[in-house]
Structure 1
Amino acid sequence: MQVNLTTLSGQSYRFDAEPSDLVETLKSKIFHELSVNPKQQRLVFNGKKLEDCYTLKDYNIQDGGKIYLVLRLRGGM
């Protein structure tokens, strides 16, 4: 299946995935494609933050599902 990833700036990407893939696996794919550290990634689907230890199927993400990528920025001055 393919999932659609959209950033808050509106950029869209497609990733091949399996329903049995862990969220952590998808974050790894995002890292290899976009060079965004998985620790900085927050993925959101249907208003829910996706936890690394669950599968895409656990969140009922299906082919064509739209996931949002929100970056965690480190604070500080």
Structure 2
Amino acid sequence: MYCRLILLTSALVMPLSSFAVAGESASEADPDTVRCRSVRELGTRIPKRVCKTNQQWAQEQEAARQAMEDRNRSSQCTDRC
């Protein structure tokens, strides 16, 4: 669970190319196009190659963003601060 949280958090930091920007070709904006990235894992210096569709990368980024929002929301002080 801890490694998964770190992986999701690192997805926020990594620049993602799954979003359409000016000058992007149609295949880069296509949600079914497969993209591969090197992901560093704790405990090893060798990055792991992970391939997913643009849609899966976007879903992972959204899940990481939501997890950080939930974590920040739950850690806010209440009346006892």
Q: TM-score, normalised by structure 1?
A: 0.28
Bigger strand fraction: 1
The structure with the largest alpha-carbon Rg is: 2
Bigger helix fraction: 2
Greater RCO, 1 or 2 (C-alpha within 8 Å, sep 6+): 1
